[in-house]
Chains A and B, each alone.
Chain A
Amino acid sequence: MDKTKPKQHTTIENSSVQQKQNEENPTREQRQFITPPKVNKSHLHGLWALTNRDLRKWYTNPIQLMVSLIQPIIWLGLFGKALNFGTFIAGSGATPAQQNAILLKFFGTTSYFSFLACGMLAFIVLFTSAFSGMSVVFDRRFGFLNKALSTPVARGSIVMGKILQSVGRSLIQAAIVLVIAVILGMDTTHFNPLGVAGAFLIIFLMGIGLSALFTMLALRSADWQTQMAIINLLNLPLLMASNALFPKTIMPTWLQDVVSVNPVSYANDATRQLLIGATGMNSLLVDFAVMIGFATILSAIGIVLSWRLLSK
């Protein structure tokens, strides 16, 4: 309902009276907007405004946040608890010491649940990032993208805004997943502030790289069905062909090769070393180097593509 309508009518009447007066008086007064001030011409202006526009949709809508958290909780609670490798191995008649040795050999830790909890951090980042492209599609479809493109905001900022909002969500959701994992029994004996900070730095880098990937796939598209298909096509392979759910060592060699080039594996490897003190497949230095490279290269490609693909 347009509640301002009655008011509008009176204003129209007023202004028509005013117009008559003006017509009688040929020297009609010129109106002026206040003089424009100097504007910020830096390449980063508007980046926070664009990021916050998308973040606001999320934090002002708690249902969306709740729903996006249910999936990893189900994985953690059902999959993580049901797949009890400890009982599995105990069934073969091994002593507790032997059990732990076997678990340690394959998972780098004696608790499969803790192993999976770290994988779930990657899971939530991956699934959040996958949808970063969708908002580009809808912005194009509903015309907001064209409006933004007609302003002097840097084309790269439009893409970076999408990436950063997705990373922001990923970090908060990962924090919530971690808390839930601890409540459900994740091993916290190795937690220390530096380790947790390092793990979130890794999550940040993974978020940037993955969101950049999915955002650039959406740059030219106005078709959300295609975008959904792309998300489904890439999401599960990126998850399954990584060490998020199972360790690399129990996989066939051809799959091991795929896992070794999947950046998600490096992120998991690092968070496991940092959070639960697991013995990893690479040194932390290698993991960080790979993740920094992944984030930098993909966001650089995203920005370069934004110059070429956002406008025809």
Chain B
Amino acid sequence: MEEVIKVEGLTKVFNGSLTAVDHINFSVEQGEIFGFLGPNGAGKTTTINILTTLLKPTSGKAEVCGYDVFKNANEVRRSVGVVPQEYTADEDMTGINNILLCADLYGMPRSDSKPHAAELLKLVELEDAANKKVSTYSGGMRRRLELACGLINYPKLLFLDEPTLGLDVQTRTAVWKYIKTLKEDYRMTLFMTTHYLEEADSLCDRIAIIDHGRIIRVGSPEELKESIGGDVIVVAVKEVEPDISSDIAKIKLVKDVKKNAEIYRMKVELGEEASPQITDLIRSKGLHVTRVSLTKPTLDEAYLEFTGRNLREEEVDKLQMFRQRRTMRQARS
């Protein structure tokens, strides 16, 4: 597999004291959706800003599409698309003119950018609003326009910074659909940051959990959930005695059994397969099952396990918070 992003020992220190990103290593492979997950101020935006050549790294190496982000910044800029967190489209211009402005910044000739812009507007279902001013757009339409702008230069890799921040369910579903289309139909690689765990869970092939500027864990959503201990099965039986915990523990998929009065609580692998085996065993011992529940670990739990449950009260960048509030406001308009 070809590596589209390769990051080694990447560090960014602001004003000589604040370490926003601290010796991180990771790589993103061709064709995957890679998610960056972490609390506010964890270093997500700093990393994305370094990878999109907006910030110079203090030390370490970052290669994007085979080019060094510092030495070959312009080659990196030509190969990637960026969909920023903010709504950056010009309010006074029409949707199509905003996309054409982006195309001009990439130096694309109009003979190419015009048909391509039309194609992209169709992809994000904005062709009817193409000639309306952006100031008349709803939050969802603005977000879709930003996505189209980010795709204008035929990027091999697309960066998405909080792509669904503040959006309603319909638009969020549509954005997810576009992201899947880009990966599956256009074989694009996507790098996204998000606050929303269900988003990372349903879209990303691999997730890096980042906190305090360090990557804590990298893996597929399944691996991350698995790593905090597997599924939990709770079985209630009619009879308090006899205790058959030791028999249940003998089942291969069961890792741990705890009994409390008539309730058995088991940590198991592959809950769906383990569950009938357990109930069959209990019945074969002549006991009566009254209730069974299977709980699968969520990414939320994995995330809280890795980043801790403490509320974050660190100071964050003033400008970044302003932009985030503005994005949320516009998304709801």
**B102 interface residue, CB < 8 Å from A?**
yes
Q: In the bound complex, do residue A34 and residue B319 qualify as a contact, i.e. CB atoms below 8 Å apart?
A: no
Question: Chain A's interface: helix, strand, loop or mixed, by majority?
Answer: loop
B84: chain A residues at CB < 8 Å are 143, 146-147, 150
B residues 45-99 with Cβ under 8 Å of A? 49, 52-56, 74, 77-78, 80, 82, 84-88, 90, 92-93
In the complex, A37 Cα to B90 Cα: how many Å? 26
In the complex, A143 Cα to B115 Cα: how many Å? 27
B112: chain A residues at CB < 8 Å are 34, 36-37
Q: In the bound complex, do residue A30 and residue B125 qualify as a contact, i.e. CB atoms below 8 Å apart?
A: no
Binary interface encoding of chain A residues 200-227 relative to chain B, with 1 for a CB under 8 A from any of its CBs, else 0: 0000000000000000000000100000
In the complex, A8 Cα to B123 Cα: how many Å? 11
Q: In the bound complex, do residue A34 and residue B119 qualify as a contact, i.e. CB atoms below 8 Å apart?
A: yes
Q: In the bound complex, do residue A143 and residue B323 qualify as a contact, i.e. CB atoms below 8 Å apart?
A: yes
Least CB distance, A3 to chain B, in whole angstroms: 7
B186: chain A residues at CB < 8 Å are 31-33
**B106 interface residue, CB < 8 Å from A?**
yes
Q: In the bound complex, do residue B326 and residue A3 qualify as a contact, i.e. CB atoms below 8 Å apart?
A: no
**A194 interface residue, CB < 8 Å from B?**
no
Given contacts A15-B177, A34-B116, A143-B88, contact A4 B107 (CB under 8 A): no
Q: In the bound complex, do residue B174 and residue A12 qualify as a contact, i.e. CB atoms below 8 Å apart?
A: yes
Least CB distance, B30 to chain A, in whole angstroms: 14
Least CB distance, A47 to chain B, in whole angstroms: 9
B115: chain A residues at CB < 8 Å are 34
In the complex, A53 Cα to B105 Cα: how many Å? 12
Q: In the bound complex, do residue A53 and residue B108 qualify as a contact, i.e. CB atoms below 8 Å apart?
A: no
In the complex, A57 Cα to B92 Cα: how many Å? 7
**A311 interface residue, CB < 8 Å from B?**
yes
Q: Which residue of A lies closest to B151 (CB)?
A: A33
Which one, A38-46, A74-82, A83-91, is touching chain B? A38-46
Q: Which residue of B lies closest to A4 (CB)?
A: B128
Q: In the bound complex, do residue A28 and residue B184 qualify as a contact, i.e. CB atoms below 8 Å apart?
A: yes
In the complex, A213 Cα to B308 Cα: how many Å? 49
**B126 interface residue, CB < 8 Å from A?**
yes
Q: In the bound complex, do residue A8 and residue B125 qualify as a contact, i.e. CB atoms below 8 Å apart?
A: yes
B86: chain A residues at CB < 8 Å are 142-143, 146
In the complex, A144 Cα to B87 Cα: how many Å? 8
**A152 interface residue, CB < 8 Å from B?**
yes
**B129 interface residue, CB < 8 Å from A?**
yes
In the complex, A11 Cα to B124 Cα: how many Å? 11
B149: chain A residues at CB < 8 Å are 147
**B104 interface residue, CB < 8 Å from A?**
yes
Binary interface encoding of chain A residues 27-70 relative to chain B, with 1 for a CB under 8 A from any of its CBs, else 0: 01011111011011110011011100100110011000000000
A312: chain B residues at CB < 8 Å are 14, 55-56
**A105 interface residue, CB < 8 Å from B?**
no
**A151 interface residue, CB < 8 Å from B?**
yes
Q: In the bound complex, do residue B141 and residue A2 qualify as a contact, i.e. CB atoms below 8 Å apart?
A: yes
Query: B54 is contacted by which of A37, A49, A149, A153 (Cβ under 8 Å)?
Result: A149
Least CB distance, B17 to chain A, in whole angstroms: 14
Q: In the bound complex, do residue A53 and residue B93 qualify as a contact, i.e. CB atoms below 8 Å apart?
A: yes
B78: chain A residues at CB < 8 Å are 39, 152
**B290 interface residue, CB < 8 Å from A?**
no
Least CB distance, A134 to chain B, in whole angstroms: 16
Given contacts A4-B125, A152-B77, contact A42 B107 (CB under 8 A): yes
In the complex, A150 Cα to B86 Cα: how many Å? 14
Least CB distance, B106 to chain A, in whole angstroms: 6
**A1 interface residue, CB < 8 Å from B?**
yes
In the complex, A1 Cα to B129 Cα: how many Å? 11
Q: Which residue of A lies closest to B85 (CB)?
A: A143
B315: chain A residues at CB < 8 Å are none
A31: chain B residues at CB < 8 Å are 185-186
**B284 interface residue, CB < 8 Å from A?**
no
B140: chain A residues at CB < 8 Å are 2
Q: In the bound complex, do residue B105 and residue A49 qualify as a contact, i.e. CB atoms below 8 Å apart?
A: yes
**B101 interface residue, CB < 8 Å from A?**
yes
B154: chain A residues at CB < 8 Å are 33, 36
**A281 interface residue, CB < 8 Å from B?**
no
Q: In the bound complex, do residue B93 and residue A56 qualify as a contact, i.e. CB atoms below 8 Å apart?
A: yes
Q: In the bound complex, do residue A39 and residue B138 qualify as a contact, i.e. CB atoms below 8 Å apart?
A: no
Could you list 28 examples of A-B contacts with CB < 8 Å? Answer: A2-B137, A2-B140, A4-B126, A4-B129, A4-B141, A7-B128, A15-B177, A33-B119, A39-B109, A40-B107, A46-B104, A46-B105, A46-B106, A46-B107, A49-B105, A53-B101, A56-B93, A141-B319, A141-B323, A142-B88, A143-B88, A146-B54, A151-B77, A151-B105, A153-B106, A153-B107, A311-B54, A312-B55
14 new A-B contacts, CB < 8 A, other than A30-B185, A141-B323, A146-B86, are A2-B137, A3-B128, A4-B129, A30-B187, A36-B154, A46-B104, A46-B105, A50-B105, A53-B90, A53-B93, A143-B87, A147-B88, A150-B54, A152-B106
The 6 closest A-B pairs by CB, nearest first: A143-B86, A49-B104, A40-B107, A45-B107, A151-B105, A2-B138
